[in-house]
């Protein structure tokens, strides 16, 4: 969970509260809780990052080989650890995991590549939420970088991997729209995310408030827009 973790709970099991950068908390309440727990937010070291990747690989192998799952989904949305590394308002690193878009995306792509090598890309899905503000994500309100600029490189790299190895493309991208997190489940989210369809040509699962309207307006519009793009 990265910086979104429970500082007191982590301390009870001997774990540090880790984030891309030290002291960059979700909010003042999380900062206060961490200080009171005596487990303040510290930066992921390179060794911590190596362990994180190993944990994901081991979990994926257990899910597929032992538990018999068909797929695993990497949760890279909603302000959890991968989203934290992606966000320039949470990630202030100056090493190979921070700074440029390529560097901030590196950790997630490394995990994708490692899981693809051990269980097959076709068994790996990725959950993303470019516009969410949950857990302190900057979303479309960012004064530093718009979600299109922040995420288009990631989508293009995932698509490139699919084109390079079409027989073992990742299973799906699960894109969560921000209608629910915005607090207005029935309204216009205030943005158009159809740009994703111009980049990613694999399976795209879109979700987030589509069934809250009696006339399914948002759902119908998304389907109509998809067929326009798909037939270009």
CATH of the domain at 220: 3.20.20.70
Q: Quickly state the pLDDT bin for 67 (edges 50, 70, 90).
A: very high
pLDDT of residue 190: 62
pLDDT of residue 216: 84
**Domains identified in the chain, total number:** 2
| Residue with token string 């097959």 | 120
Residues 35 and 61 in one domain: no
CA distance 115 to 122: 10
Residues 34 and 54 in one domain: no
Residues 35 and 84 in one domain: no
Measure Cα distances from 72 to 65, 102, 120, 129 in Å: 11, 24, 11, 17
Residues 23 and 58 in one domain: no
Write out pLDDT tens, residues 129-155.
998 888 888 777 777 888 888 899 999
Residues 219 and 117 in one domain: yes
- Residue 52 confidence (pLDDT) above 80: yes
Residues 194 and 149 in one domain: yes
Residues 17 and 69 in one domain: no
- Residue 178 confidence (pLDDT) above 90: no
Q: Which residue range(s) make up the domain with 196? A: 46-230
| Predicted TM-score of the model (pTM) | 0.89
Q: Where are the alpha helices (DSSP H) in 62-210?
A: 81-86, 101-119, 147-164, 195-199
Task: Report CA dihedral (122, 127, 129, 135) to the nearest 10 degrees.
Answer: -150
Q: Quickly state the pLDDT bin for 181 (edges 50, 70, 90).
A: very low
- Residue 96 confidence (pLDDT) above 70: yes
- Residue 110, helix vs strand vs coil: helix
Pairing, β 124-128 against β 72-75? parallel
- Residue 54 confidence (pLDDT) above 80: yes
Residues 39 and 50 in one domain: no
């Amino acid at each position: 969970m990265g910086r979104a973790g429970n500082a007191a709970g982590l301390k009870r099991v001997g774990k540090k509260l880790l984030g891309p950068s030290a002291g960059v908390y979700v909010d003042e309440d999380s900062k206060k809780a961490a200080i009171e727990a005596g487990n303040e937010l510290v930066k992921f070291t390179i060794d911590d990052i190596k362990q994180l990747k190993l944990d994901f690989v081991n979990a994926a192998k257990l899910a597929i080989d032992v538990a018999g799952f068909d797929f695993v989904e990497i949760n890279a949305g909603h302000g959890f650890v991968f989203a934290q590394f992606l966000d320039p308002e949470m990630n202030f690193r100056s090493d190979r995991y921070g700074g440029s878009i390529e560097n901030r995306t590196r950790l997630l792509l490394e995990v994708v590549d490692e899981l693809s090598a051990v269980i097959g890309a076709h068994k790996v899905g990725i959950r993303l939420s470019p516009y969410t503000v949950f857990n302190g994500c900057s979303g479309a309100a960012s004064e530093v970088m718009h979600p299109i600029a922040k995420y288009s490189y990631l989508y293009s790299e995932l698509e490139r991997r699919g084109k390079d190895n079409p027989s073992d493309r990742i299973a799906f991208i699960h894109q969560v729209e921000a209608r629910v997190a915005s607090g207005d489940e029935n309204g216009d989210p205030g943005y158009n995310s159809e740009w994703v369809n111009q980049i990613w040509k694999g399976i795209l699962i879109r979700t987030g408030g589509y069934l809250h309207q009696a006339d399914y307006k948002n759902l119908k519009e998304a389907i109509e827009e998809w067929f326009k793009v798909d037939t270009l």
